[in-house]
Amino acid sequence: MKAINKRLRNKKGFTLIELIVVIAVLGILAMIAIPKITGIQDDAKENVDKQNVKLMQNAVEMYAAENGNYPANNEIKSVLERYIDKIPEPQQTGYSFWYNEGKIKYQSESPGNGWVNLNGNNENKNNEKDENGKDNQE
């Protein structure tokens, strides 16, 4: 019996309690890290949308500088495609890029009469943001 006890004491390894503690610590770390990563992804998507608004607004301004006026609403898509490879898709779910009389913005539903949806994927929220990503209610 003493030989068996001595052999068990000399075995190296982790006890069940030690394994449970390690798993609990890893679980706590995961609970802290996952929400932060999700928030970083949302911020990155918003920043991409802000930059895309600025890119398209610059294309509109270049057109206006060359032609003396802003493009008409019915020709904005072809004008943008002349200056940039393709009209970008919004990264934030439910948002679209909108154009009217020289101004581009992104929001989730039509800003009103006369605005042209550059993407065609609006939903029914009314969260409007300008080129700086600031909420902008008219």
Tokens of 43: 């911020």
φ/ψ of 69, rounded to 5, equals -155, 165
Judge contact between 83 and 36, C-beta under 8 A.
Answer: no
Give the DSSP letter string of 83-102.
HSSSPPPPSSTT-EEEEETT
Per-residue pLDDT, 119 = 84
| DSSP secondary structure code for residue 105 in this structure | E
- pTM score, two decimals? 0.63
CA atoms within 13 A on the CB side of 69: 6
According to DSSP, the β-strands at 103-107 and 116-117 are unpaired
Residues 61-103 pLDDT 10s: 999 999 999 999 999 999 999 999 889 999 988 899 999 989 9
Architecture of domain 14-129: 2-Layer Sandwich (3.30)
For residue 24 the two structure tokens come to: 């609990």
CA atoms within 13 A on the CB side of 138: 9
Q: Give the tens place of pLDDT for each residue, 36-68.
A: 887 888 899 999 999 999 999 999 999 999 999
